[in-house]
Each structure stands twice: as structure tokens, then as C-alpha cells.
A and B are shown apart, each in its own frame.
Chain A
Amino acid sequence: MRTNFKLALKILGRRKFFTFISLFGISLTLVVLMVATAVLDNLFAPREPEQNFDRVLGVYRVSLRGKEATETMNPGFKFLDSYVRPLPGIEAFGMTSEPTMTATYVGGSRIDVVLRHTDAPFWQITRFRFLEGRHFTKQEDDSGARVAVITDELRGKLFGSGSAIGKTITVQGDNFRVIGVVPAVPDTRQVSWGQMWVPIGSYPSSDYRQQFMGNFIGLVMARSKDDLPRIRAAFDAAAARVPIPDPKMFDTLDVHLDTTFQSFVRPFFKSNAGQGSFLLARAILGILALLFMALPALNLVTINLSRILERSSEIGVRKAFGAPRRSLVSQFVMENIVLTLIGGAIAFGLSAAILASLNASDVFPNVQLDLNLRIFGYGMLMAVAFGLVSGVYPAWRMARMHPVNALRGGAQ
């Protein structure tokens, strides 16, 4: 084993072009896989301030369907308040509006602000880290207090480096007192992205309370992940009993409790897509990754097969001097595994560098892309498996060569 390892390093060191081509294929594939999964991970995996989201489901869309018309919007306050808030056995129910682009003015300059209206439980479901101050309470929401939580990024633009607590921001004609500051959130986070959060009760009008469809997202936090299927079933049962508004126009209501991933892929499926469809979506992503990984493996098989003739003299010599087939196979397989592992190490370094430069750039503002060690582990495992597969067949062909033919240059 050790001898084969050393031999592999010597051979790969001497065959620089072959080694370069193979390493290029392996490491490029792993780098793309790592960067892609880092982005997907950032979009969908539970992470700050959504670290609880492995047990959070949301109502993101409501669709009303009729023979002649379909209407799809975010759920309204009334729908969420009437049919989602009362779900039994949940830990918390919260709401947030979709982000609204608005503006404030500082010294005559316009500063854009991404504004969201939320209730108090929203801060229980999300887990923002407060740099200063606090979030607003149920009492403040109910009373329509003009208080706000802002990001450190907005604080910097509006107030410079000092504390923002107690200072006032004017948006949409209202003055809001800052009571808390949180770190900026990337816009890849559907639920928690924003720059300024104010109580739902601070809307100037209470019309929103009567809306079946509106601009809210309803969030349901379960006590544990195991409760999710039960909560989903309870919601589906409740949704089936919802009286359809305007029954002359519409006859079907489509509404679901989804994870963030499901809310993202649902538009690609039929409106009533079940859990099987989402498993299918994951399976498709997995198969795509597998096919993608198969490319360097096929490349290695092709290169290795073409090397049979080139190295037939070596095989002949080794056979003549007593190499059993098993030794030859293990030698050539070891070469492939070493190649794959070196490719993996290069990919790890390159991925870390690319993700660090993406984090430092403005390509994804406020995004922290991390190297996903679990995915890297899977990637490496697959790469080694492909290394084995791509090595075994050519090695087996090599080892089966008749020694006399091998010494003649591979002619059969």
C-alpha cells in the first residue's frame, strides 16, 4: 500500500500533462459543486437569523382558482389570523409583511429603506442577534407604537457610528423611534431580509385586518421537527373548510404550509404538489450533482484507457518480474485515488478562496457563504468512488494483458 502510494506520487509527478488535465477536471468539478452548494445552503439551510427554520413552516402564497380566472397573492392578515394562528399544538405563530421599498431623508439626501411590518412573535421565530436595544413587544404592536428595529448597515447610513437607540426615522410620513439594532441580513433570505422592521399595528389604516389576500407571510414554528407532518395535516384540514371568497368567480383554494425550499420550487410544480414532488425536486438536484460528478470520472476512464498502450511495456516488465494481477490492479487504482485526493485538496483550497472573495465582494451583499464540510465530504466520497471505478476497469484491462503482448507494446 505504502509502496504503491509512493509509486503513484512518482508516476504522477513525471506525467505532468496527464496529471494536470486530470486534476483540472476533478478540482474544477468539486469547486463548482462546493460553490453551488454554498449558495443553495445560504438560500435554504437554517442559519442566522433563521436557525430555527428546520421546524418552521410558512404560508407564502394563496391561490384562488375558477374556470375563468386565477388569483395568486400573499395571504392577508384575516386569512392568517383566522385559519393559521389557531392551529393546535404549535409553539408560535408570527407574521411579516413582504419587504417594501421606501425612503427616508437625511440632510436632504434620499436613503432607500427596505421596510417590513411584523408582529412580536416574529422575533421569537427568527433569532436576530441584537447589537443594541431590543425588539418590540406584543403591547407595542397592539397599540401601534411607532418603534423600529433597524440593521447596523442602515444605522451607519443614517446616524454614523454612534448608537441609534432613541433616534427617530421618518418613513411614509410617520416618525419611528429606534429601539433595536441587528446585523444586516442578505437578500437571499426570503423571510428575514430587511433594513427596518416596525409593528404591524403601526399601519396608518386598519384595512389590512379585513384582507383575505394581502402581502403577509405567515410563520408557524413547531415545538420539534417531528410535529411538522401533524401541523401540516391540521392546516390542510383547516384550509379545506375555508369558505371561498367570491364563490361565483372561484371554486378552489390552494394554500400550503411550506418550508423555504418548498416555497421556492412550488411554482415549478402543479399547485397541489405533495411531499413526493419535493422529494422528486431534491432527487433531481442530487442526480444532477451525480451526473456532474460523473464527468471527471468518465474523463479519467478515457484517459486511463488510452494510457494502457502507452504503459503496456511497464505492465509487461512488471508481469515478467512477478507482479500478480492483483498487485497491478491495486497499483493503478492507487494512482487514481491519489490523483482524486490531490484534486480534492486543491478544490478545497480553491473553493475556500472563491467563497472568501465572493463574501468580500458586492456580488451577494451581506451574504456569508461558507464551505459546507458535509457537502465537501460527500463530494470527496463520490470523487474517491469515481476514482475507484474509473481506475478499476482500466487497471483490470491492463492486468489481463498477456505479458508477451504487453512487452511488444500492447498488440493483441
Chain B
Amino acid sequence: MIKLENVNKVYRTERVETLALENINLDVAPGEFVSVMGPSGCGKSTLLNLIGLLDAPTKGKLSIENTAINGSGDRKLARFRNEKLGFVFQSFHLVPDLKVVDNVEIPLLYRKMSGGERRKLAQQALDRVGLASRVHHFPTQLSGGQQQRAAIARAIVGKPRILLADEPTGNLDSAMGEEIMSILHDLNQNDGTTIVMVTHDERFARRTDRIVRLFDGRQVA
């Protein structure tokens, strides 16, 4: 499903060269729920950004669903992200000027689809995460947990095969964190969605199929 072979990521500035990831080899199977752990600055988010095609590896091969991604242009990457990937961020990243339902519709704006169809799918996604009653609220009118559920609805509205979650419970208390984790497990088990989740929380990581551990940019487990 997701395959990284000898992937390196180097960040260069005028003075400094930082090796963020070194020789990463990772194979995520379809329907697998993988968590990525490690101390701050070890390259977890960088790894997720590479898998999410938000950033490109400096060296090595990356393929998703047997499609080699290296060297693809902006338009192709955008289409790939739109069709295959969903993102959940630690700080939700909902657009404050748009209602919840409009936020959820965002991935569908870049597909050929009527407004009515978009609205129907967005409402279904919100229903799935238990936010059917908050459709016309603005993000600021929701609690942290509700905002993250809206963000998950946005991530799954396009029915992507892969969900990438960057510390989805990081900004939430434990009860809300549990809620979010149960939604992710539900998506993984009932829809077969492949999930890669970066987390600091050992409890949540242990409940996934596999833990990938990073240290100083290297894969240690």
C-alpha cells in the first residue's frame, strides 16, 4: 500500500544541512493501522509529510498503491492527494470563516461533483463522526473534540484509502482523545482504511497494529 525504500530527507539552508530522515524503509499493508512514535524532532511529522506527498524525499523511493511518486508534478500530486489520501492534523486546521459543513466539503471542491452531491457526502461524513447536529456551526463554536471530529469528517469525506493523522489527540484531553481513537479504529476496522498515525501517547500506539519508532531520523523499531 505504502512503500518507502532507503528514503532520506535533508533540509538545507544557506549555512546548515539537517538530515531529518535517514535510510527509512517502511512497508504499510492495505488496511493496516500503523503508529509512528519517537521523541520530538526525530522526524515523525517529516515522515508523515513524505507519505502524504506534502514534501518530497531527497533520496530514495516512495510508492503508494504501486505507483512511484518520485518526480511527479504539482498537478499530479494534488490529484493523488485528493483521491487517495486524507489528513488529520493535531491543531485541526479548520477554516474559521467557513461553517463545519463547508469545511468538510473542501476535498470535494477539487473533484467534478455537483454542489448537492458534495453537501450530501459532507453530511454523511459528519453523521459518521457524530456531528450531524453541528453542520451549520462555525469551528469556533465547537469544542476541541468536536473540531477534531469535524476534521476527521473532512479527511474521510472523499473516501480515501489512506488516512494520515499527525498527533490527532495531541490537543485533546484523554476523554476526547479516546473518542477520536475510537473513530479511527472504526474507520480502520469497518472501512478497511489504512491509517498511519503519529503519536506521543504510548497507550494509543499500543492499540494499533504496529509501532514504528524513530530516533534522530533513523528507524529504530
List chain A positions with a Cβ less than 8 A from chain B. Answer: 2-3, 7, 10-11, 14-15, 313-314, 316-325, 327, 402-404, 407
Contacts and interface: CB of A to CB of B under 8 A. Distances in A.
A404 B110 contact: no
B106 interface: yes
Contacts, number: 72
Contact of B106 (A318, A324, A325, A404): A318
B55 A321 contact: no
Contact of B78 (A10, A15, A324): A324
Contacts of B80: 322
A11 B97 contact: yes
B55 A404 contact: yes
A338 to B, nearest CB: 14
Given A403-B54, A404-B54, A317 B93 contact: yes
Contacts of B87: 317, 320-321
A10 B102 contact: yes
A15 B97 CA distance: 7
**Interface size band for B:** 20 to 34
B44 interface: no
Given A322-B78, A322-B83, A324-B78, A10 B97 contact: yes
Contacts of A325: 74
Contact of A319 (B54, B83, B98): B54
Secondary structure at the A interface, as helix, strand, loop or mixed, is helix
B93 A327 contact: no
A10 B74 contact: no
B154 to A, nearest CB: 7
A10 B95 CA distance: 12
Given A3-B115, A404-B49, A404-B54, A322 B79 contact: yes
B89 interface: yes
Interface string B56-90: 00000000000000000011001111110011010
A325 B73 CA distance: 11
Interface string B12-32: 000000000000000000000
User: Ordered nearest first, which 3 A-B pairs have the shortest CB separation?
Assistant: A322-B82, A14-B97, A321-B107
Given A322-B81, A403-B54, 8 more contacts: A320-B52, A321-B82, A321-B110, A321-B154, A322-B79, A324-B75, A324-B79, A404-B49
B76 to A, nearest CB: 10
Given A313-B93, A320-B54, A10 B98 contact: yes
6 contacts: A10-B97, A14-B97, A313-B93, A314-B93, A321-B81, A323-B78
Nearest to B95: A314
- Which of A11, A325, A403 counts the most B-chain CB atoms under 10 A from its CB? A403
B109 interface: yes
A3 B106 CA distance: 11
A324 B97 contact: no
A323 B74 CA distance: 10
- Which of A10, A11, A317, A404 counts the most B-chain CB atoms under 10 A from its CB? A317
Contacts of A323: 78, 109-110
Contacts of B96: 14
A322 B154 CA distance: 12
Contacts of A327: 109-110
Contacts of B89: 317, 407
A317 B55 CA distance: 14
B81 A320 contact: yes
Contacts of B95: 313-314, 317
A323 B81 CA distance: 9
- Which of B52, B82, B94, B97 counts the most A-chain CB atoms under 10 A from its CB? B97
